[in-house]
Amino acid sequence: MTTEIQLFGAFLNEHLDDGLDQLVDHVTQIGEHYQAMPQNDLRHALRQSLQHIADSLVHNDRAALTAYTQALSQKRAAASFTLLEAIAAMDLFRIYVLDRLDVFRQDGASWSLAAQRQLEDVLRVFGNYFVSGFDTALQQARAELRMQAEQLEAQHRTIRDLSTPILPVYEGIIVVPLVGLIDSYRATQIMEHLLQSITTYQSDIVIVDITGVPVVDTNVMNYLLQTARAVRLVGAQIVLVGISAEVAQTIVHLGADLSNISTLANLQESLQYALQQMRQRMPRHLYQSKGG
């Protein structure tokens, strides 16, 4: 026996084009994405959705409807339709179906509360699946963001490693050519990495070349001086190289005590100085075994 809901489904299928143009008009006004759609495409899509709902009512089957709606939803989400646009479209669609129901009942068809609930149920399922694609799109976006954050972190690590190049040029001597801007974060990195290297290489002399640091203001100078003090405490000697006239002024203005820091004009001079220092200490080292 054909039920009320099946009869309505058949009715929908027979009158798919009634009032469809009006619906297309209303949907177009929802937002920019629906507006940008070619009217024929939108008309076709709405007609298809109606057909699927009608079929679902006639055959009492949800599978085809949910599959179709899910695919449609993903398509809309991928095309950057907003969730609000989708919800608005859903609302208009629902009103349209209820309008069709009015016409169906005017012709004298019976309609029970049970049938009404069944119809609402199908519309609800359609609505839920129509927004599901947006949730999927959101999850995907979040996953992409996480990946990007990881990539960024990996790049940061590379920058960190590159930012404090330690060159063990000779036994007991390391050269640290600093290049690029130094902020407080990098300054801490430099200090920790440098101190660790001194302990690892057991270097007596550390030559820090700041020629490649474009801006050496009082902040940067303070970081460098902190590092120099820490290097001395660990037991190594620090030689600062590459101080320009401007930087020299900064140091003097800071009134910093440089009694424990040697400064030289350039890398060559500092290497010569360092080798000389090592030679002076060598006699004692000659009789000692290598390694700490």
Partner 1 sequence: MDSLRIPILKIGDVLIASIQVALHDASAVQFKDDLLQKIHDTKARGVIVDLTALDVVDSFIGRLIADIAAMAGLMGTRVVLTGLQPAVAITLVELGLELPRVLTALNLEKGLAMMQSLTEESGDDAS
- Residue 108 binding partner 1, by CB under 8 A: no
Least distance to partner 1, CB of residue 133, Å: 53
Is 41 near partner 1 (CB under 8 A)?
A: no
229 binds partner 1 (CB under 8 A): yes
> Among the candidate windows 1-9, 128-136, 176-184, 188-196, which touches partner 1 by CB under 8 A?
188-196
| Residue 184 in the binding site for partner 1 (CB under 8 A) | no
Strand partners, 261: 238
Stretches 114-122, 147-155, 179-187, 222-230: which one binds partner 1 (CB under 8 A)?
222-230
In Å, what is the CA distance from 175 to each residue of 154, 195, 270? 26, 13, 10
| Stretch binding partner 1 (CB under 8 A), from 9-17, 112-120, 153-161, 226-234 | 226-234
Comparing CB distances to partner 1, the nearer of 47 and 232 is 232
| CB-based contact 264:258 (threshold 8 Å) | no
Helix or strand (DSSP H, E) at 66:
helix 63-78
Site membership for partner 1, residue 22 (CB under 8 A): no
> Could you tell me how many helices (H) and strands (E) the chain has, helices first?
11, 5
> Contact with partner 1 (CB under 8 A): which of 2, 107, 288, 290?
288
DSSP 16: T
The answer to whether the beta carbons of residues 213 and 247 sit under 8 Å apart is no
d(CA 7, CA 107): 12
* Tokens (6 digits) for 85: 């646009």
Residue 292 Cβ vs partner 1, minimum distance, rounded to whole Å: 5
In the complex, least distance from residue 227 CB atom to partner 1, rounded to whole angstroms: 8
Sheet with 167-170, strands from edge to edge, namely: 167-170, 173-179, 205-212, 237-241, 261-264
Taking CB under 8 A as the criterion, the residue among 232, 256, 263, 273 binding partner 1 is 232
Q: Which stretch binds partner 1 (CB under 8 A): 53-61, 156-164, 195-203, 248-256?
A: 195-203
CB contact at 8 A, 77 and 136:
yes
- C-beta neighbour count of 218 within 10 angstroms: 12
Buried b (16+ CB within 10 A) or exposed e, 231-264: beeeebbbbbbbbeeebeebbeeeebeeeebbbb
Give the residue carrying structure tokens 């590459």.
242
Q: Could you tell me which stretch among 28-36, 120-128, 146-154, 192-200 binds partner 1 (CB under 8 A)? A: 192-200
Q: Indicate whether 204 belongs to the interface with partner 1 (CB under 8 A).
A: yes
Is the CB of residue 238 less than 8 Å from the CB of residue 206? Answer: yes
- Binding of partner 1 at residue 199 (CB under 8 A)? yes
By CB under 8 A, name the one of 191, 221, 224, 238 that touches partner 1.
191
Applying CB under 8 A, among 233, 248, 252, 265 the residue interacting with partner 1 is 233
Q: Which residues have C-beta within 8 Å of that of residue 49, sequence separation ≥ 6?
A: 68, 69, 72, 93, 126
Instruction: Write the interaction track for partner 1 spanning residues 234-263; mark x where CB under 8 A is met and - where it is not.
Output: xxx--------------------x-xx---
- Which residues lie near partner 1 (CB under 8 A)? 191-192, 195-196, 198-199, 202-204, 226, 229-236, 257, 259-260, 281, 284-285, 288, 292
